[in-house]
Amino acid sequence: MIGIGYDVHCFAKGRKLVLGGVEIPHELGLDGHSDADVLCHALADALLGAMGEPDIGHFFPPGDPACAGISSLRILEKCRDLLREKELRIINVDGTVIAEAPKILPHREAMQKRIGKALGIKPGQVGIKATTNERMGFLGRGEGIAAMAVAQVEDDSDIPF
């Protein structure tokens, strides 16, 4: 089973920039109810889609005070738990960050480790890439960051957790 996910947040002053569970030095963070980690959000939606579940807003409503400032790695942990309940196993996840800045490559390995740990998979099962929007549109003007992701899961009912 395969799912896709997409997320986008605009930049905001006075917030930390968190991508893939890693705090990245940057003059602006992303605006959102949680830590606004677009990569983790896109990955979560891809996993939820592969399971046939609603999007992350169903499990972590944006207006819920309990979700304010939550680490998006917790959202991925919830996805992991749902997968286990459904006796599904992650084959791999793959995400692309779309931003003019900052550079993602220096943080890629740390992101793979944190995402892998949250999902209970090996870092090698976590693909992370980045691209720009060629200075077109709101992403190209540096107004925010987007991410898209895919996830593949399979039935794992024969393996006990």
Domains of the chain plus CATH, in order, are 2-155 (3.30.1330.50)
Alpha carbon distance 55, 65 (integer Å): 18
**What is the model's pLDDT at position 75?**
95
**Partner residues linked to 92 by β-bridges:** 152
Peptide bond into 102 cis (omega under 30): yes
- Count other Cβ atoms within 10 Å, centred on residue 35: 24
**What is the model's pLDDT at position 7?**
97
Q: Splitting the chain (161 residues) into consecutive groups of 10 residues, what average pLDDT does each group show?
A: 97 97 96 95 98 92 85 96 95 97 96 98 98 93 97 81 51
Predicted model pTM? 0.94
53 and 8 Cβ atoms separated by less than 8 Å: no
29 and 12 Cβ atoms separated by less than 8 Å: yes
